[in-house]
Structure 1
Amino acid sequence: MGQGKSVLIYSHLIIIIMELTAYLQQQYTPGTAVSYGREIGIFLSNYPQAAAAVYSDLLGYIGVLRQRYGNAQTLNRIVCSIKVYYDYLCYTGQREDHPGRNIWLRDQRSRDVQLQDLFSASELSMLMGRKERFKALFYRNEVLIGLLVYQGLLIGEMASLCVAEIDLEGGTVYIRETAVTNSRKLPLHANQVLPLSAYLEGARAQLLGGRASEALLISQRGQPMQASDISKHVKRRYSGLFPGRKVTAQSIRQSVIANLLAQGHDISKVQQFAGHRYPSSTERYRQDHVGRLQAIIDQYHPVK
């Protein structure tokens, strides 16, 4: 009887992990999704009642972790993973409250925007118009990179976009709420209209090859592009374009947000544009903050 119950609990845990894995792959980069998934799996194995935990339960669990791990980075990684687990439960409607939302470690690692990874507006424009052997892929790639350069979307948001959420006549794109961002409607840039029109009117159907899908971004194999596909595409396509700096979907988004603030846009407007839940998330991109980072870089990595 006891063994049968253990098997049932284990099978239920496997199902949860599979569903959670799909969620993480939609919301985060491949490496982050794997890291979060691993830590959440350990958390659920050690704490079978985690789904019903309250704030005090999590504080007690973290207290045990503090006795076991002395490295702040390790602790923060585990705590972030636990909070993502409850993001998932709220996102899927399994919970209405988030018991870990207000838990922050005093020894948390820096969340500073890395100045060396940022790109100017003129550098971002260099990402557009790259040659492609197949015309259908050219338009798909222009649409994809345009959503990064002009709207600064997260890869999870891009993977979730549907054709119906692009309004060419109104010149807008609607981005649905995710676990980490608010929903919003953003204007399309003039440079996006032609590629989007060509993609939606012919290139997308060519890539689909007769298959049916509501997804906006379609892979060369005719399947909706996942967040991991978008991340790999950006890294591969722009590798080596800026020697010494990596071009990633994250660094492009960060650059777009920082550039808007540098241009004098009101921080509340930039927060709305980026979909940030909290003003503090946008504050990290202020130029006085970035300037402080520049001073640090100049001190420790002076230009010879």
Structure 2
Amino acid sequence: MTLYEYLESHYTPATVESYHREITIFLSSYPSASMATYADLISYLGVLRERYNNAATLNRILCSIKVYYDYLCCTSRRSDHPARSILLRDQRSRDVQLQDLFTGEELERLLDRKERYQALYYRNRVLMGLLIYQGLKPQEIAAIGIQDINLEVGSIYIKSTPTTNSRTLSLKPGQILLFYTWLREVRPQLLKGADSDVLLIGHRSRSMSADDIVKHVISSYKNVYPGRSVTAQAIRGSVIANLLAQGHDISVVQRFAGHKYPSSTERYRQSQVEALKSAIEQYHPMR
């Protein structure tokens, strides 16, 4: 298995390109990287620290280096992982930016977008519903197969990703009829006889990738809320933050979001639930 094949089997296309680029730079500047020790990598990062003063850049490079050694371990080229325990002191801020959040009412308004083509209306409503009601990540949506949907009980199975756990979530009542029409009537028309188990179909009967989903949201809703960017990430963050603001237990929200660690969910609480609710209402008053 080549490095690129390994990356393709574990990450989204955009992440593959980012990691591959950084790893290529790492290997070109450190030819003996395959035999490096923990101390060697610490020294290498020290050199990078003198070159870059941006914590996000250093973290991106370190993540790429760790993935490179993940690959070596996976392909049995090394039995140890010299970078696994390395953490940077100047960790980039992972605080949720309140100004990027949307209220539940604002999220619902995103479903009112007019579509020129009826087929795309159903597909895009299914897509946006998964973002707004289930709070899914683009890569999770892209991986959903028709076999993962159970309309009889109104549920959908979400596969695990490198950063989220698998889980089964309930569909809203309004989603069930929408899914039924999409699966039984509209989706077969878009496939035009092609065979596919993927839920969402995009251009030329091909499945929608995570990148396609990200681009669709940005291009479709860029002018809806002036001054704020409507992105898949912002929508997911808003869903999680709003659940916490409504008083749901953090362990329940963690399972809903698929977070591997409670600390990932805790970031959306911003000190206390009431403070978060007040901040959301201050930035985005209900109309």
2:92 equivalent to 1:105? no
54-63 or 248-257: which moved more?
54-63
2:168 equivalent to 1:182? no
203-212 or 60-69: which moved more?
60-69
Give yes or no for contact 2:123–2:200 (8 Å, CA) kept in 1. Answer: yes
Distance (Å, rounded) in 1 between the aligned partners of 2:241 and 2:112 = 23
Distance (Å, rounded) in 2 between the aligned partners of 1:274 and 1:199 = 25
Following superposition, the deviation at residue 78 of structure 1 comes to: 1.1
State the TM-score, normalized to the length of structure 2: 0.84
User: Judging changes above 3 Å, is the alpha-carbon distance between structure 1 residues 51 and 128 closer, same or farther for their aligned structure 2 residues?
Assistant: farther
3-state SS, counterpart of residue 265 of structure 2: helix
Question: Which position in structure 2 is the counterpart of 1:273?
Answer: 256
Following superposition, the deviation at residue 103 of structure 1 comes to: 2.9
Question: Which position in structure 2 is the counterpart of 1:192?
Answer: 175
Where structure 2 has 5 or more consecutive residues not aligned to the other structure, the ranges are 283-287
Letter in 2 for 1:231: V
Distance (Å, rounded) in 1 between the aligned partners of 2:100 and 2:83 = 31
Question: Which position in structure 2 is the counterpart of 1:301?
Answer: none
User: Judging changes above 3 Å, is the alpha-carbon distance between structure 1 residues 155 and 98 closer, same or farther for their aligned structure 2 residues?
Assistant: farther
Distance (Å, rounded) in 2 between the aligned partners of 1:91 and 1:169 = 40
Cα displacement string for residues 157-182 of structure 1 (whole angstroms, at most 9, x for unaligned residues): 11111110011111111111111111
1:213 to 167, 173, 196: 196
3-state SS, counterpart of residue 81 of structure 1: helix
Give yes or no for contact 1:91–1:179 (8 Å, CA) kept in 2. Answer: no
Letter in 2 for 1:114: Q
Give yes or no for contact 1:207–1:218 (8 Å, CA) kept in 2. Answer: yes
Distance (Å, rounded) in 2 between the aligned partners of 1:227 and 1:90 = 27
Following superposition, the deviation at residue 85 of structure 1 comes to: 4.5
2:4 equivalent to 1:17? yes
1:173 to 135, 156, 162: 156
2:218 to 231, 235, 244: 235
Letter in 1 for 2:150: D
Question: Which position in structure 1 is the counterpart of 2:131?
Answer: 148
State the TM-score, normalized to the length of structure 1: 0.80
Distance (Å, rounded) in 2 between the aligned partners of 1:178 and 1:194 = 28
Distance (Å, rounded) in 1 between the aligned partners of 2:116 and 2:73 = 44
Residue identity (%)? 59
Cα displacement string for residues 188-229 of structure 1 (whole angstroms, at most 9, x for unaligned residues): 111211111100011111111110011111003210001110
Give yes or no for contact 2:136–2:257 (8 Å, CA) kept in 1. Answer: yes
Letter in 2 for 1:20: L
Question: Which position in structure 2 is the counterpart of 1:252?
Answer: 235
2:64 to 77, 81, 84: 81
3-state SS, counterpart of residue 260 of structure 2: coil
User: Judging changes above 3 Å, is the alpha-carbon distance between structure 1 residues 173 and 87 closer, same or farther for their aligned structure 2 residues?
Assistant: farther
The alignment covers a number of residue pairs equal to: 279
Following superposition, the deviation at residue 263 of structure 1 comes to: 0.6
3-state SS, counterpart of residue 156 of structure 1: helix
Question: Which position in structure 2 is the counterpart of 1:7?
Answer: none
Distance (Å, rounded) in 2 between the aligned partners of 1:216 and 1:83 = 33
3-state SS, counterpart of residue 173 of structure 1: strand
Following superposition, the deviation at residue 20 of structure 1 comes to: 2.1
2:117 to 124, 131, 134: 134
User: Judging changes above 3 Å, is the alpha-carbon distance between structure 1 residues 84 and 198 closer, same or farther for their aligned structure 2 residues?
Assistant: farther
Where structure 1 has 5 or more consecutive residues not aligned to the other structure, the ranges are 1-11, 299-304
3-state SS, counterpart of residue 221 of structure 1: helix
Letter in 1 for 2:255: Q
Distance (Å, rounded) in 1 between the aligned partners of 2:191 and 2:84 = 41
User: Judging changes above 3 Å, is the alpha-carbon distance between structure 1 residues 86 and 168 closer, same or farther for their aligned structure 2 residues?
Assistant: farther
Question: Which position in structure 2 is the counterpart of 1:8?
Answer: none
User: Judging changes above 3 Å, is the alpha-carbon distance between structure 1 residues 246 and 202 closer, same or farther for their aligned structure 2 residues?
Assistant: same
Distance (Å, rounded) in 2 between the aligned partners of 1:148 and 1:228 = 14
3-state SS, counterpart of residue 205 of structure 2: coil
Distance (Å, rounded) in 1 between the aligned partners of 2:239 and 2:80 = 32
